[in-house]
Amino acid sequence: MSEQFEAILITRDEKKNQAVAHVELTEDELMPGDVTVAVAASTVNYKDGLAITGKSPVVRRFPMIPGIDFAGTVTRSSHPEWKEGDEVILNGWGVGETHYGGFAGRARVSGDWLLPLPDGMSMREAMAVGTAGYTAMLAVMALERHGVLPDLGPVIVTGATGGVGSVAIALLAALGYEVTASTGRISEEAYLRELGAKEIVAREALSGPSRPLGKELWAGGIDAVGSHTLANVLSMTCYGGAVAACGLAQGMDLPATVAPFILRGVSLLGIDSVMAPKPLRMEAWSRLASLLDPAKLMAISQTVGLKDVLSAADDIVGGRVRGRLIVDL
Ligand code: NDP
């Protein structure tokens, strides 16, 4: 019989009541795939919080090992690109949603979903970035493609103390942007300024119903919050600017008007990390490795064990996590 490893397992009964347990499994119980990985680290992302608490239908196959990302070492491979001993990372592709994920000592996945551990990054650093940080990079790259460059003026980041927000601020500051951070945790002002934010805006200033057009304040934005907040950010974006939308911490709705689009030429840029094509992922991870200061990355991260993942899931959905949570396997 193959060796046992620890895992978090989500199950559901006939009445669709969800249960989450810390269990021991063997490799024989993993789902099919052409590469097996000894997982060294994973992370708790907002989506993992939704999956474990059952607050949103993230998990679409039961039972499920949650964990939408991981870093580890290949132990077995029949995929042409990977061999035993290779250090790899994975984000998305339905892992932790429809395919067993990273909250386990072993993962078996398609080799097509894996990327090499970026040069110069440790596995812990890669997971300090995790899906949240990689999504922040995709959002920055989308703004750049749209021509929202540092000389155009300030850029706002919402959900600033969260995972996407923290990494987005660090990246934008490293690239020379003037960053405004919107947060519900004004007590974290020093943390946000340390990351590179120049201005701090209280969450309440943006979380209520928006006017069709507001004062033009920002050349662009990275929004992890959605709902009224995104509507307000759009209405306050300068002529020709753009907002990269990647999250729904306030809500999935978008109670906005078309005024910013048709009267100011503002663009709304959608960011999806899960199915992003491989060349884009490679570019994002290579830029993350070169732009992020490892000391800053560790300063925004806390490490938890696999057993702590359940309470961490409650905390992240409750908006009580600052920065990033690494799960040490
Ligand atoms: P976090 O929980 O770490 O950060 C979210 C932040 O949003 C919180 O820290 C808080 O920041 C703010 N927030 C929380 N609740 C509310 C609320 N009710 N109203 C306004 N602001 C709120 O999550 P992540 O950074 O990991 O993810 C952020 C969002 O991005 C999530 O919705 C997630 O699902 C999404 N996401 C999307 C991806 C994609 O592919 N598109 C990939 C990764 C994440 P503060 O206290 O500073 O205000």
Question: Mind giving me the DSSP string for 168-180?
Answer: HHHHHHHTT--EE
* Mean pLDDT on 70-83: 98
**pLDDT band at residue 182 using 50, 70 and 90 as cut-offs:** very high
Residue to mutate (ligand 1; options 97, 204, 246, 248; most atoms within 8 A of CB):
246
Domain boundaries, the chain: 4-117+294-328, 130-270
Q: Is the CB of 148 under 6 A from ligand 1?
A: no
Q: Report the alpha-carbon distance of residue 329 to residue 39 in Å, rounded.
A: 7
Q: Is the CB of 51 under 6 A from ligand 1?
A: no
Closest atom, ligand 1, to C-alpha of 316: 2
Tell how far the Cα of 154 is from the centroid of ligand 1, in angstroms. 21
Tally of CB atoms within 10 A around 213:
16
Tell how far the Cα of 78 is from the centroid of ligand 1, in angstroms. 37
Q: Is the CB of 154 under 6 A from ligand 1?
A: no
Q: What are phi and psi of 83, to 5 degrees?
A: -135, 165
Fold of the 130-270 domain? Rossmann fold (3.40.50)
State if pTM tops 0.75.
yes
The answer to whether 43 touches 324, Cβ cutoff 8 Å, is yes
Tell the residue nearest (CA) to atom 3 of ligand 1.
162
Q: 32-70 pLDDT, tens per residue?
A: 999 999 999 999 999 999 999 999 899 999 999 999 999
* Mean pLDDT on 105-112: 98
* Mean pLDDT taken over the chain: 96
Residue to mutate (ligand 1; options 93, 135, 232, 252; most atoms within 8 A of CB):
135
* Mean pLDDT on 102-119: 97
* Mean pLDDT on 130-139: 96
Q: Is the CB of 316 under 6 A from ligand 1?
A: yes
How many angstroms separate the Cα of 126 from the Cα of each of 46, 119, 174? 17, 10, 18
pLDDT score of 288: 97
Tell the residue nearest (CA) to atom 18 of ligand 1.
250
**CATH superfamily, region 4-117+294-328:** Medium-chain alcohol dehydrogenases, catalytic domain (3.90.180.10)
Tell the residue nearest (CA) to atom 11 of ligand 1.
159
* Mean pLDDT on 17-34: 96
- Structure tokens given for 79: 């995929």
Tell how far the Cα of 55 is from the centroid of ligand 1, in angstroms. 14
How many angstroms separate the Cα of 102 from the Cα of each of 19, 89, 111? 18, 10, 15
Q: What are phi and psi of 197, to 5 degrees?
A: -75, 140
* Mean pLDDT on 134-156: 98
Q: 217-260 pLDDT, tens per residue?
A: 999 999 999 999 999 999 999 999 999 999 999 999 999 999 99
Q: Is the CB of 298 under 6 A from ligand 1?
A: no
Residues of the chain above pLDDT 90, percent: 97
**pLDDT band at residue 2 using 50, 70 and 90 as cut-offs:** confident
Residue 116: pLDDT over 70: yes
* Mean pLDDT on 172-200: 97
Tally of CB atoms within 10 A around 196:
21
Q: Is the CB of 274 under 6 A from ligand 1?
A: yes
**pLDDT band at residue 1 using 50, 70 and 90 as cut-offs:** low
**pLDDT band at residue 272 using 50, 70 and 90 as cut-offs:** very high
Tell how far the Cα of 75 is from the centroid of ligand 1, in angstroms. 34
Q: Is the CB of 134 under 6 A from ligand 1?
A: no
